[in-house]
Amino acid sequence: MIDHSDKSKIYGTTILTVRKGGKVVVIGDGQVSLGDTILKGNARKVRPLQGGEVVGGFAGSTADAMTLFERLEARLEQYPGQLTRACVEMAKDWRTDRYLRKLEAMMIVADKNVSLVITGTGDVLEPENGVIAIGSGGNYAVAAARALIDSDKSAEDICLKSMQIAADICVYTNNNFTIEILDSLD
């Protein structure tokens, strides 16, 4: 759990991934907060990687996340078409490298085969039900998405509705969404 009492640190965001009906959707809000102040409302925290074959989203420090995206891109070049392997190798680096260990961010990445969460503690986790979220509003978004996953709604509609719910509850999440969609093999 993040301690939001330190007003000098940037907190919050919500990143959600839903895999359903031959699509994988990664969506993120655009709010950047410093303590109780909104610094920016339209940050792009979800972006394509590896020529659009992979989509990634981050929660946490922007500079730290950019460093991690660069490291992941390098690992994806080293292990093309092997997202899980690239993520495991990056997570090992993140956990063991003295510089990287201090980075404060989490990532969700997805390709046509798999969705994963990567943490600085060495975790590379795949969701059981195709739904996963991170960030200060992540628990709200994932709860809403799990409630909707068995409905007739598309992955994109589930993501949009779930993020709207998270934004209504979490003060560190707004309604300015970035969404990326890939075809999946499910």
Cα separation of 36 and 80, whole Å? Answer: 41
How is 4-30 classified by DSSP, letter by letter? TT-TTSEE--EEEEEEETTEEEEEE--
Of 13, 14, 17, 173, catalytic: 13
**Side chain identity, residue 123:** D
Per DSSP (E only), the strands in the chain are 10-11, 14-20, 23-28, 32-34, 37-40, 46-49, 54-60, 105-110, 115-118, 124-125, 131-135, 178-183
Cα separation of 106 and 51, whole Å? Answer: 22
Specify whether 37 is catalytic: no
Q: Say how many C-beta atoms besides its own lie within 10 A of residue 16's C-beta.
A: 32
**Side chain identity, residue 40:** K
Q: Which residues are catalytic?
A: 13
